[in-house]
A and B are shown apart, each in its own frame.
Chain A
Amino acid sequence: MTARPAFRLPVAVTVVAVTVAVRAAAALLAVGALGATLWYGVEDPGIALAFGVLIAVGELARWGSGKGREPAPLGAAGALAYALVGECAGRPSHHGVLQVVAIVVAAGLVGAVPHVALGRGPCLDHIARRVLSVGFAALCFQPLYNSGQLTAVTGHGPAYAVVIVTLLALTALCDAVLAAAMAHDRSGWPFGPLLREELRGMSGVGSAVCASGAVMALAVAVAGLWALPVFSFPLLLTQLAFRRYAAVRTTYRQTIASLARATEIAGYTPAGHARRVADLSRAMGRDLGLPGPDLGVLEYAALMHDIGQLSLVDPVPAGATAALPEAEQRRIALLGGAVVRQTGVAADVAVVVERQADPFHEQPLAARIVRTANAYDEMAREQGPHGPLGALERLRLATGRDHQPEVVEALARVLARGRGRGSGGRGRPGTRRCAPAGRGSAGDVAGGVGKVRLTPRPPG
């Protein structure tokens, strides 16, 4: 997922208390661990070297710049495994918490060198979270193990494996809370849905990383360091699968965005309208607490909501469908739904597009949001500099039949937040410098739409 320079705000505005605290804690921990390890020397250098190489390779093979999902599953799994290694091929190991953190940091830095050299700097927040979560896992495990209390209780049997898995689950939970808190801090979205989304994202690559970490730790205990290369291959494959999936998703979003621009290029709607409505809808949906998949449906529907106009022989004046008679609006919506059904997006998207012109109490929530966002964008454009507030007033007056009051209020909150954060009336409050896991928006790939300058159209 690429950054969106168009929406980037000054760092000082977006990064606040929690983020600063997290980064500071991570930096402190990393420096302290490195210092202590240099001072006291490395225990079990063979094991440390093997895991260090694994983490560095995983970091090398990562993709993206750390935004979005876990970008380096192999590195993350290796780091967690190192935090949870108690013995190697039957012989106990002796490394402590600080050494774990030091090795993870050092290997991460080595692996990051080529990326930085190529200008793809890592995402600071991601590194901070990695350091803290590995530190947490090691802190829970190593003192307990090294003092012999853990094996005294569980022995070396299935119970030990269960303890390892439980520790990893706990670590993942802490990581999710941290990520959600940072995202909340940055964007101002409600914390609950953000956390839910983080946890849902966990079920994919997150669970694979945790399970791999556990498997590596246990397999090293049984089979020694040979277990690392043997199990790295399957995990690299998981990484490859995710990468290809991400690539095809990006391509797909770009294509949907292109389809959405068809109406703009055809002169049926003003430039950037689809993109703006999609961003606004997404922000409103998030404000109303919609879960991630619904936000995706909402965004695609909003992008393509005007596609039915392609079937019109003559454009609607200024593309203002909200001002048309209702029967005509519905006809265009149905035509749009027919086109959308051919695009292979989820059927929900087509339903939203088809029902965008219905009275709100007959609509699904996503369609209500699209309808309100569309009406707002058209009205706010009409009325010049005083447009936004006037448009909001008019929408509030129309809450009897056309627009749901709660949705209009969500719009008002989104707009207020947008103004408060200095992004003006763009309807996109804040920006995600590192997106919370498991989501991305079509905006990632079509961020340029708002800036598109169409070739001047000759009369005709």
Chain B
Amino acid sequence: MRPVPPRARGYVLGAALGGAACVAPAFGPDTPWSVLALLAVLYAAGEHAVRRDVAAATFFPVLLAGVFLLPPAAAALAAVPGALCARVERRPRGLRRLWRAAQPALAAWAAGHVYAALGGPAAASAPDFPYVLLPAVAAVLAFALALTALDGGILLTAELVPARTAWRGLLLRSLAPVSVHGLAGLMMAVLWSSPYGPPAALLVLLPMGVSCWVFAQYHRERSAHQATIRALVQAVDLKDRYTRGHSERVGRASVLIARELGMADDRVELLRFAGILHDVGKLGVPTRLLRKEGPLTPQERRVIELHPEYGHEMVRGIGFLGEARAAVLHHHERIDGSGYPYGLTGAQIPEAARVVAVADAFDAMTSTRSYRRARPVPAAVAELERCAGVQFDAAMVRALARALQRHGWSSEVTAGTETTAGGEPVRGAAAEAASGAASEPVREAASEAASEAAGGRPRSGRR
């Protein structure tokens, strides 16, 4: 656990003081306390329910309904009890609680003022559709902007992200979920002040709650899925002990090459899986053979050379792997046609397989095996370049060499730790902070914004 930098502490305290100043006017005479109390309880309950499942989401519809129903100071106050009571998993708990209370309070206060300035309250109680959408949208925008500004500050002070990148992408990511929650909040406010009253408004929360819950399930299932992929790889490690960590590193090297070639994020992600799973077919090779010391007979060699086909047989049922499956099958093909299993040549070999072949060879050379020592990276690259055009695709080798110059290479074994499946190079700390655990696939990052709305906001700045 890293200690919290003093300036982050100061930042949070400053935000809390600001929040307190915003909330203070609520203790005047014209606050509708019954509405405020009900909303505060709902928010607290929502926070509690949501956080029990996934430590990432915030239950905004209630808060935004508060913005549309209450004066700004009271709307800010509605967020405070829930945030102070919610469970906090990580230390320092007090500071985190304070931040979680101050941030939405400030945002709600700002949104409330924008809403009131555009004549929202009068339009909503009529209700004057479609005019009421204008103040509502403006308020949502203000809410998202305030959240983003505050989040960026946290990245800047606590995570020490450079000021240039701290705010990058944050607004876009939070805008979609906040605006959807804003529409739900608006509907809640309209129904609340209609003759049907609060019971009808509460119905709005049910679908929102369900989507939060589904989203939490989605996260859980996804991490379980990643664990299963790791288990597949570790099952290989059980059999073939000297390749420990090899799969992870080949995945990483494949990602380096794919990025260098300018592939789209989802293809890069597939290549990572291709690298991780390329040797999964070794599960089908008798353990005795894999562990055999000394030279292999031609027949034994032929048995080992079946592993790409076994691997393909295993993973072909996994739909999302796409072209990674072809890479598993063809990663031992050579450009000159002397490889196996089919002896394909040149461009007949799928691109993904050519990438994985280079990554595989590179890691095999730079890691220590029981029968020989690791070669240094430059020597390995030189060897790859020597074989380019005969064994390997020259474009892939060049891409790897360039990527290595740019990013360097560490051959640490990370197998078995939490971050294994995500052994990806840092893509800018803000993005990584936003995508949460490092094991979250990059491919998700792009579509994260839309879907986070279902379960709240992205994890950015949620310290």
Enumerate chain A interface residues (CB-CB to B < 8 A): 156-158, 160-162, 165, 204-205, 207-208, 211-212, 214-215, 218-219, 221-224, 226-227, 230-231, 233-235, 237-238, 240-242, 244-245, 247-252, 254-259, 261-262, 265-267, 307, 310-315, 339-340, 342-345, 445-446, 448-449, 452, 454-455, 457-458, 460
**Contact status of A343 and B227, CB under 8 A, knowing A158-B200, A311-B238:** yes
A250's nearest neighbour on chain B, judged by CB, is: B319
B1 at the interface (CB under 8 A from A): no
Shortest B100–chain A CB gap in Å is: 23
Given A204-B213, A215-B200, A339-B235, 11 other A-B residues pairs in contact with their CB atoms under 8 A: A156-B196, A158-B200, A161-B197, A208-B207, A215-B187, A234-B181, A237-B180, A259-B228, A261-B314, A266-B285, A344-B223
Q: Are A222 and B190 in contact (CB under 8 A)?
A: yes
Shortest B280–chain A CB gap in Å is: 8
Task: Give which listed residue, B181, B232, B455, contacts A258 with CB less than 8 A.
Answer: B232
B323 at the interface (CB under 8 A from A): no
Task: Give which listed residue, B181, B203, B280, contacts A215 with CB less than 8 A.
Answer: B203
Shortest A165–chain B CB gap in Å is: 7
A157's nearest neighbour on chain B, judged by CB, is: B195
Residues on B with beta carbons closer than 8 Å to the beta carbon of A233: 180, 183
B222 at the interface (CB under 8 A from A): yes
Residues on A with beta carbons closer than 8 Å to the beta carbon of B243: none
B165 at the interface (CB under 8 A from A): no
Residues on A with beta carbons closer than 8 Å to the beta carbon of B129: 223-224, 226-227
Tell me the dominant secondary structure on chain B's binding face.
helix
Task: Give which listed residue, B61, B187, B230, B291, contacts A219 with CB less than 8 A.
Answer: B187
A209's nearest neighbour on chain B, judged by CB, is: B207
**Would you give 5 A-B contacts (Cβ < 8 Å), ordered by A?**
A230-B133, A255-B318, A259-B231, A265-B313, A455-B310
**Contact status of A211 and B239, CB under 8 A, knowing A249-B221, A251-B320:** no
Q: Are A251 and B318 in contact (CB under 8 A)?
A: yes
B227's nearest neighbour on chain A, judged by CB, is: A344
B130 at the interface (CB under 8 A from A): yes
Q: Are B228 and A343 in contact (CB under 8 A)?
A: yes
B196's nearest neighbour on chain A, judged by CB, is: A161
Q: How distant is the Cα of A313 from the Cα of B454 in the complex, in angstroms?
A: 48
Shortest A439–chain B CB gap in Å is: 14
Q: Are B317 and A446 in contact (CB under 8 A)?
A: yes
B289 at the interface (CB under 8 A from A): yes
Contact flags B301-331 to A (C-beta < 8 A → 1, else 0)? 0110010011001110111100000000000
B224 at the interface (CB under 8 A from A): yes
Shortest A201–chain B CB gap in Å is: 12
A165's nearest neighbour on chain B, judged by CB, is: B203
Residues on B with beta carbons closer than 8 Å to the beta carbon of A214: 200, 203
Residues on A with beta carbons closer than 8 Å to the beta carbon of B281: 265
Q: Are A248 and B228 in contact (CB under 8 A)?
A: no
Residues on B with beta carbons closer than 8 Å to the beta carbon of A259: 228, 231-232, 235
Q: How distant is the Cα of A221 from the Cα of B230 in the complex, in angstroms?
A: 53
Q: Are B183 and A241 in contact (CB under 8 A)?
A: no
Q: Are B218 and A241 in contact (CB under 8 A)?
A: yes
In this complex, the interface size class of chain B, counting residues with CB under 8 Å from chain A, is: 35 or more
Q: Are A252 and B284 in contact (CB under 8 A)?
A: no
Task: Give which listed residue, B61, B196, B284, contacts A158 with CB less than 8 A.
Answer: B196
Residues on A with beta carbons closer than 8 Å to the beta carbon of B180: 233-234, 237
Q: Are A230 and B210 in contact (CB under 8 A)?
A: no
Q: Are B196 and A160 in contact (CB under 8 A)?
A: yes
Q: Are A342 and B317 in contact (CB under 8 A)?
A: no
Task: Count chain B CB atoms within 10 A of each CB in A222, A345, A455 and give the residue with the most.
Answer: A222
Enumerate chain B interface residues (CB-CB to A < 8 A): 61, 127, 129-130, 133, 180-181, 183-184, 186-187, 190-191, 194-200, 203-204, 206-208, 210-211, 213-215, 217-218, 221-232, 234-235, 238-239, 280-281, 283-289, 291, 299-300, 302-303, 306, 309-310, 313-315, 317-320, 450-451, 453-455
A307's nearest neighbour on chain B, judged by CB, is: B235
Residues on A with beta carbons closer than 8 Å to the beta carbon of B318: 251, 254-255, 258
A454's nearest neighbour on chain B, judged by CB, is: B313
Q: How distant is the Cα of A53 from the Cα of B319 in the complex, in angstroms?
A: 34
Shortest B143–chain A CB gap in Å is: 16
Q: Are A455 and B309 in contact (CB under 8 A)?
A: yes
Q: Are B183 and A231 in contact (CB under 8 A)?
A: yes
A257's nearest neighbour on chain B, judged by CB, is: B317
Q: Are A218 and B191 in contact (CB under 8 A)?
A: yes
Shortest A202–chain B CB gap in Å is: 11
Which 6 A-B pairs rank lowest in CB-CB distance, beginning with the nearest?
A: A344-B227, A241-B454, A344-B224, A211-B206, A226-B129, A208-B207
**Contact status of A205 and B210, CB under 8 A, knowing A157-B195, A255-B232, A339-B231:** yes
Q: Are B196 and A222 in contact (CB under 8 A)?
A: yes
Residues on A with beta carbons closer than 8 Å to the beta carbon of B285: 266
A456's nearest neighbour on chain B, judged by CB, is: B306
Q: Are A345 and B451 in contact (CB under 8 A)?
A: no
Q: How distant is the Cα of A257 from the Cα of B306 in the complex, in angstroms?
A: 21
Residues on A with beta carbons closer than 8 Å to the beta carbon of B299: 458, 460
Q: Are B226 and A344 in contact (CB under 8 A)?
A: yes
Q: How distant is the Cα of A262 from the Cα of B287 in the complex, in angstroms?
A: 13
Residues on A with beta carbons closer than 8 Å to the beta carbon of B287: 312-314
Q: Are A242 and B232 in contact (CB under 8 A)?
A: no
Q: Are B207 and A212 in contact (CB under 8 A)?
A: yes
Q: Are B199 and A219 in contact (CB under 8 A)?
A: no
Q: Are B210 and A310 in contact (CB under 8 A)?
A: no
B222's nearest neighbour on chain A, judged by CB, is: A248
Q: Are A208 and B196 in contact (CB under 8 A)?
A: no
Q: Are A234 and B232 in contact (CB under 8 A)?
A: no
Shortest A457–chain B CB gap in Å is: 8
Q: Are B283 and A345 in contact (CB under 8 A)?
A: no
Q: Are B214 and A342 in contact (CB under 8 A)?
A: no
Residues on A with beta carbons closer than 8 Å to the beta carbon of B225: 248, 251-252, 255, 344
Residues on B with beta carbons closer than 8 Å to the beta carbon of A314: 286-288
Q: Are B451 and A211 in contact (CB under 8 A)?
A: no
Residues on A with beta carbons closer than 8 Å to the beta carbon of B300: 460
Q: Are B183 and A265 in contact (CB under 8 A)?
A: no
Task: Count chain B CB atoms within 10 A of each CB in A235, A315, A342 and give the residue with the most.
Answer: A342
Shortest B209–chain A CB gap in Å is: 8
B290's nearest neighbour on chain A, judged by CB, is: A313
Q: Are B210 and A208 in contact (CB under 8 A)?
A: yes
Q: Are B317 and A258 in contact (CB under 8 A)?
A: yes
Task: Give which listed residue, B130, B213, B286, B451, contacts A460 with CB less than 8 A.
Answer: B286
Q: How distant is the Cα of A458 from the Cα of B228 in the complex, in angstroms?
A: 30
**Contact status of A458 and B314, CB under 8 A, knowing A233-B180, A310-B283, A345-B228:** no
Q: Are B221 and A238 in contact (CB under 8 A)?
A: no
Q: How distant is the Cα of A227 from the Cα of B196 in the complex, in angstroms?
A: 15
Residues on A with beta carbons closer than 8 Å to the beta carbon of B239: 310
Q: How distant is the Cα of A373 from the Cα of B6 in the complex, in angstroms?
A: 62
**Contact status of A240 and B454, CB under 8 A, knowing A215-B191, A259-B232:** yes
Residues on A with beta carbons closer than 8 Å to the beta carbon of B230: 342
Q: How distant is the Cα of A218 from the Cα of B206 in the complex, in angstroms?
A: 15
Task: Give which listed residue, B221, B227, B289, contacts A245 with CB less than 8 A.
Answer: B221
Shortest A445–chain B CB gap in Å is: 7
B208's nearest neighbour on chain A, judged by CB, is: A234
Shortest B302–chain A CB gap in Å is: 6
Residues on A with beta carbons closer than 8 Å to the beta carbon of B187: 215, 219, 227, 230-231, 234
Shortest B342–chain A CB gap in Å is: 13
Residues on A with beta carbons closer than 8 Å to the beta carbon of B203: 161, 165, 211, 214-215, 218
Q: Are B288 and A313 in contact (CB under 8 A)?
A: yes
Residues on B with beta carbons closer than 8 Å to the beta carbon of A266: 283-285, 310
A238's nearest neighbour on chain B, judged by CB, is: B211
Residues on B with beta carbons closer than 8 Å to the beta carbon of A457: 306
B284's nearest neighbour on chain A, judged by CB, is: A265
